[in-house]
Amino acid sequence: MNKPVLPMSSLSLKLPTANRAIEIYRLAASRAFPAKLQGTLNRVAFSAVHVVADPLADTDPWLSAAVDWDKTIAFREHIWDLGLGVAEAMDTAQRGMGLDWPTSLELIQRSVAAAKAKGNAPVFSGAGTDHLAAEDAKSLDDVIRAYEEQIAAVEKAGGRIILMASRALAKIGRNPDDYVKVYDRVLSQVREPVIIHWLGDMFDPALANYWGTSDLNQAMDVAVGLINAHAGKIDGVKVSLLDAQREIDMRRRLAKSVKMYSGDDFNYAELIAGDSQGFSHALLGIFDAIAPAASYALSRLAADDTAGFHDVLGPTVALSRHMFKAPTRFYKTGIVFMAYLNGHQDHFTMVGGQESTRSTLHLAELFRLADKAGLLANPELATRRMKAVLALRGIEA
């Protein structure tokens, strides 16, 4: 169980406000969550996890990625200890946004090996077409071959597949039939059932008009038809459209054997709780930042303590909506900042130099919301690190 709420903290720091003032912010009462899963879960829950950059590597961050492998794998151990699965080498890890395919494959190989050493801890890994530059894709067969190459590499490593959306397919696919052709070919060859990822263009603008149409209703028709036609090859579908009703509508249309994995970082609490007609499982980037709270909340849900579930997970939603606000693709900066505040890494350095993509005001509000939701594991450490970041941006303690 979570520890009792402590008295109001005496910690405070200076934070900037939207009107260009500086306020004295006093931290809220502490709230701690177990470091390991307590009880059981009745939802399948994956955290799409980030990578820890190596801040001492002599590289040009915009051009090449340097990964701290020890810290990166240690974070996955943290996720597994909490009873969550790892969704590896996804966009949360800056896949295709700083992390190239060779480095992604090494990440997958290391993660799968660590999962096996952990007693076959759950891990699914992204297979896509990102080693094929969109401008170099001349035909659907080029896209198919790119998918096949990555699938074969992940399967050779002993991994399970998350079939990622393809920028190359989005560029050359002219209509729904082109998408069906590609997915039919690819799904016919996979060794084990995969998770299909439908990533919206708010996460990656290059994926606009996915499934061959700009009409989301028509796109859903295409996706549902394809998924249900290949239900035996599909474990589930992750939908990242930030539209709760669309996710509910889709999950009600899926074949009974196919799971809906919520990718809605705006509305995940209500979608996971579900309704009389069903519920969503989870495959979420925000679970990287809130893993202890998510694990404890899910354990309360499994214990039929719905009120306890919402009491813990509900306050995290405001943080997630802030972190994933437009431009949504920059949410990864907040994910890594939370890992820094909570001591999972010793620096606020990111692959691709992406620590610069959010403003000082954004990070200050993230700190406030994380504190109010009880997500700062060590408030003293988090406050000290927040002050250090603010000092670099001109706000002295």
Per residue in 157-201, pLDDT tens? 999 999 999 999 999 999 999 999 999 999 999 999 999 999 999
Residues of the chain with CATH 3.20.20.70: 41-355
Q: Is the pLDDT of residue 6 over 50?
A: no
Specify whether domain 41-355 bears CATH 3.50.50.60. Answer: no
Question: What pLDDT score does 120 carry?
Answer: 98
Per residue in 230-250, pLDDT tens? 999 999 999 999 999 999 999
As a three-state string, the secondary structure of the chain is CCCCCCCCCCCEEEEECCCCCEEEEECCCCCCCCCCCCCCCCCCEEEECCCCECCCCCCCCCCCCCECHHHHHHHHHHHHHCCCEEEECCHHHCECCCECHHHHHHHHHHHHHHHHHCCCCCEEEEECCCCCCHHHCCCHHHHHHHHHHHHHHHHHCCCEEEECCCHHHHHHCCCHHHHHHHHHHHHCCCCCCEEEEEECCCCCHHHCCCCCCCCHHHHHHHHHHHHHHCHHHEEEEEEECCCHHHHHHHHCCCCCCCEEEECCCCCHHHHHHCECCECCEEEECHHHHCHHHHHHHHHHHHCCCHHHHHHHHCCHHHHHHHHCCCCHHHHHHHHHHHHHHCCCCCCCCCHHHHHHCCCHHHHHHHHHHHHHCCCCCCHHHHHHHHHHHHHHCCCCC
Rounded to an integer, what distance in angstroms lies between the CA atom of residue 260 and that of residue 279?
Answer: 8
Question: What pLDDT score does 396 carry?
Answer: 85
Per residue in 300-328, pLDDT tens? 999 999 999 999 999 999 999 999 999 99
Question: What pLDDT score does 4 carry?
Answer: 44
Rounded to an integer, what distance in angstroms lies between the CA atom of residue 329 and that of residue 269?
Answer: 21
